[in-house]
């Protein structure tokens, strides 16, 4: 029944409906805001990964190393 649920003409109809609902003047602003939000999200996730990697690296340092002990404290 819904074997081919999303065909190219479905996307065309969806695009026309979006243009009618939001208007052609607001679409570039909305796309710009969405892109900016995605860039912020990407940079934040990158920072979180980097932070978690540095924490895991300091946890795996040997306890006999005085520099590593002072970093943990």
Per-residue pLDDT tens for 17-62?
Answer: 988 888 878 888 888 999 999 999 999 999 999 998 888 777 665 5
- Residue 73 — very low, low, confident or very high, per pLDDT cuts 50/70/90? very low
| Chain center to CA of 28 | 20
How many separate domains does the chain show? 1
The structure's pTM equals: 0.49
* 26 occurs within a structural domain: yes
> Cα–Cα distance between 59 and 41 in angstroms, integer?
27
Q: Mean pLDDT across the stretch 7-16?
A: 87
* 69 occurs within a structural domain: no
Q: Is the pLDDT of residue 65 over 80?
A: no
* 57 occurs within a structural domain: no
- Residue 7 — very low, low, confident or very high, per pLDDT cuts 50/70/90? confident
> Cα–Cα distance between 5 and 7 in angstroms, integer?
6
CA distances from 9 to 3, 18, 27, 58, 70 (A): 15, 14, 21, 54, 63
* 14: containing domain: 10-35
């Amino acid at each position: 029944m819904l074997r081919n649920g999303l065909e190219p003409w479905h996307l065309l109809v969806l695009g026309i409906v979006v243009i009618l609902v939001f208007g052609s003047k607001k679409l570039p602003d909305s796309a710009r805001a969405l892109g900016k939000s995605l860039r912020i999200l990407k940079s934040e996730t990158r920072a979180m990964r980097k932070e978690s990697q540095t924490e895991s690296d300091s946890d795996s340092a040997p306890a006999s190393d005085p520099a590593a002990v002072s970093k943990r404290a």
